[in-house]
Amino acid sequence: MSLALFGGAPVRTRPFPAYRIMGEEEKEALARVIDSGILSRYLGCWHEDFYGGPEVQALEREWAARFGVKHAIAVNSCTSGLYAAVGAVGTEPGDEIIVPPYTMAATTTAPLVYGAIPVFADVEPDCFCIDPAAVEAAITPRTRAIMAVDLFGLPYNALAINAIARKHGIRVIEDNAQAPGALHFGREAGSLADIGVFSLNYHKHIHTGEGGMVVTNDDELADKVRLIRNHAEAVVEAKGTTDLVNMVGFNYRLTELQAAVGRCQLAKFDTLLAARQENSTYLSSRLAEIDCITPPKVREGCTHVYYVHACLYDAECAGLPRQRFLEAVSAELAPTELREGEGVLLSGGYVRPLYLQPIFQRRIAFGSQGFPFVNPWNPASPRYDAGLCPTCERLHTAELIEHELMRPPMTRADLDDVADAFTKVWELRHTL
Residues identified as active-site: 204
Please count the CA atoms within 13 angstroms of the CA of 129 that sit on its side-chain side: 27
Asked if 148 contacts 129 with a C-beta cutoff of 8 angstroms, the reply is: yes
**Residue 344: CB atoms within 10 Å:** 22
**Residue 409: CB atoms within 10 Å:** 14
* φ/ψ bin of 7: left (φ > 0), alpha (ψ from -120 to 50), beta (otherwise): left
User: In this structure, what is the dihedral angle of CA atoms 110, 247, 66, 179, given to the nearest 10 degrees?
Assistant: 0
Helices (H), 366-406: 390-394
Q: Phi and psi dihedrals of 172, rounded to 5?
A: -120, 130
DSSP state letters, 40-64: ----SSSSTTTT--HHHHHHHHHHH
Residue ranges of E strands in 123-177: 143-149, 171-175
Rg (CA), the chain: 23
Asked if 30 contacts 257 with a C-beta cutoff of 8 angstroms, the reply is: yes
Q: Phi and psi dihedrals of 38, rounded to 5?
A: -110, 95
